[in-house]
Amino acid sequence: MAHYLVIVESPAKVKTIKKFLGSSYTVAASQGHVRDLPKSSLGIDVEHDYEPKYITIRGKGDILAALRKDAKKADKVFLATDPDREGEAISWHLAAALKLDEKKMRRITFNEITKNAVKASLKAPRDIDMNLVNAQQARRVLDRMVGYKISPLLWAKVKRGLSAGRVQSVALRLVADREDEINAFIPEEYWTLDAVLKIKGEKRPLTAKFYGTDKKKMTIHSEAELNGILKKIENAEFKITDIKSSERIRKVPLPFTTSTLQQEAAKALNFGTQKTMRIAQQLYEGIDIKGNGTVGVITYLRTDSTRIADEADAAAREYISSVYGKEYAAAGHKNANAGKKIQDAHEAIRPTDIARTPASLKDSLTRDQFRLYQLIWRRFAASRMNPAKYETTSVKIGAGEYCFTVATSKLVFDGFRSVYTEADEEKEESNVLVGNLSMDSRLTKESFDPKQHFTQPPAHYTEASLVKTLEELGIGRPSTYAPTISIILARRYVTKEAKNLYITEIGEVVNNMMKHSFPSIVDVNFTANMEGLLDMVEEGKVEWKEIIRNFYPDLDEAVKKAEKELETVKIEDEVTDVICEECGRNMVIKYGPHGKFLACPGFPECRNTKPYLEKIGVPCPLCGRDVVVRKTKKGRRYYGCENNPECEFMSWQKPSKEKCPECGGYMVEKGNKLVCADEKCGYVTALNKKKE
């Protein structure tokens, strides 16, 4: 009787797949990659057309030996690694490491780990797709070149253990640029004006918002402007000039891709990108369902497609019709993927069986697995339903030469919202329109409600918004978003406080050096273009070595130039006038993982270190002592008084010696402007005038 070997990546999958196949199959796991470039050297033969030198990964010898033994006994070996570039490459490396005979080796892929999918894949085996493998080789080699050529410069220039990476350096730059924008932002004042109106014969008052004149929307910039308007309409008659009713639909959401799943899980469940991927991996590889054995409950988690397989689509519509009613199930296909570069071998992320409701799995899942599965299930169900419908009414109310508006919307048909609402959906208007409002309704003014506001700076990046931006700019692919963000956080170039990402001092140093010496690598367009070339390798349109041949000489030249510049700037430890209390030497400034600190130059006999408080030459506005640069626990920089905790002064922006000429308060630097720290005062002047 014939005997077959199926090789997958993880032990969790072994358990799931074993159950679907008969006794003539052995299922074994490679436990991820088995060969890679060596850690100790570049591992790419630059002299001989950039040939990569792969070695067996340390500690994988025993696994490979066991797999070799299994492969010898088998009549056929099926390589069943993940259905993407990375998985294809692992299969290729396995074939090489196990010295598999081409005649008895086949590649199979499935998008979900269910009995039907696995069985179907065995009926459609194929050869290894070298275009996919080469796209992965090209990415690996490019990343290795950037990492291994530039990181040593960072070690020399800044300090040990730092690294540069092709995609992570661009992500770091995005965060840095956003910080600069926020720091340079100057708030502008504006006012809103509400009128509370009584309608004759109705108990509930109506709140109308100031719009402008009948023809033009207006922004009220100051209190003086507001008072001018109030004066004009103090005794004006309020009357309805227009009532419009219309129907508005709220579009159905598309099913999840890797990027939208990461964004939504961050907003709705407060999961970091890495956590989302880890839990999705568990749901994909197989869950032990009570009374049902192990089965994969979602489809493959690395995808940028919103396509849904026909069978799943039909099953979902049928399920929705029977559970929610016919009017909820949408007709026809919604595969909105046209015009976008997508690895469309994949489907969107969806439950493998819509009838497996979150509630029915609750006892088989951990709390986090349940919450993520529920999010995926609801989003998929919603994507096969009809849109929600609202009846909207907008009313214009005239008051002298000005105009106020009231807008309300009422849900007429909840559609997909019966199962799913997005985490950051805007709140529906609270004004419930009085039923019998008409052009003849009599209005009297009860009161005005003016409020002062200030424009807000751009928001700090969060993991979710950074993923969204990386995707929009075409940087990275579904498999790279989570690792990219994890790396810049792990290296402490970026720190996370209450969801927001902030650049650290060490991150600034690395980013500035990359911008100066390697502008193309941190250039968004260059990196997006590179991703496009990798896609073309995958499509078989570009030879992978061609990309490397074009890239390496420029990188090499930039590295040599940077090395020369660095030789001239020999970095000495900066000596300070702080005396080491243990041995009397002058302490020096060093860089650690959290930024600068003071260390005794007498190391190793004297190991004294202390925090370095950099003075900025400005007296504290509260007590007159020196203002120093401090860091929060997470590494975010701020300015505080050296006499902390007695003096509580703190500012995110750098304070200036200049006093505000308007109110006498202290001023802060924002970009190239000096701004009064008191928002209400609002005084602004150019910084360079002062500097001269």
At a CB cut-off of 8 Å and minimum separation 6, what does 607 contact? Answer: 600
Rounded Cα gap, residues 643 and 639, in angstroms: 12
User: What residue spans of 11-84 are helical by DSSP H?
Assistant: 11-20, 61-73
Of 224, 139, 262, the C-alpha closest to 452 is: 224
In sequence order, what are the residues at sequence separation of 6 or more whose Cβ sits closer than 8 angstroms to the Cβ of residue 494? Answer: 172, 175, 488, 501, 502, 503, 504, 507
Residue 466 · residue 168 · CB < 8 Å: no
Q: How far is 604 from 585, CA to CA, in rounded Å?
A: 13
DSSP-derived letter for residue 656 is: E
76 within 8 A of 104, measured Cβ to Cβ: yes
Q: Are strands 494-497 and 388-399 parallel, antiparallel or unpaired?
A: unpaired
Residue 433 DSSP label? P
| Burial class for 388, CB neighbours closer than 10 Å (0-12, 13-18, 19+) | buried
Count the helix, strand and coil residues of the chain and give each as a percent rounded to the nearest 5. Answer: 35, 25, 40
Is 300 a residue of the active site? yes
3-state secondary structure of 107: strand
| AA identity, residue 449 | D
Catalytic choice (4, 25, 300, 502): 300
Question: Which residue in 597, 640, 637 sits closest to 618, CA to CA?
Answer: 640
Residue-wise DSSP of 137-205: HHHHHHHHHHHHHHHHHHHHHT-TT----TTHHHHHHHHHHHHHHHHH----EEEEEEEEEEETT-SS-
509 bridge partner residues: none
Greatest extent of the chain over all pairs of C-alpha atoms, in Å = 98
**Structural contact between residues 434 and 202, judged by C-beta atoms closer than 8 angstroms:** yes
Distance CA 494, CA 170 (A): 13
Instruction: Kindly list the catalytic residues.
Output: 300
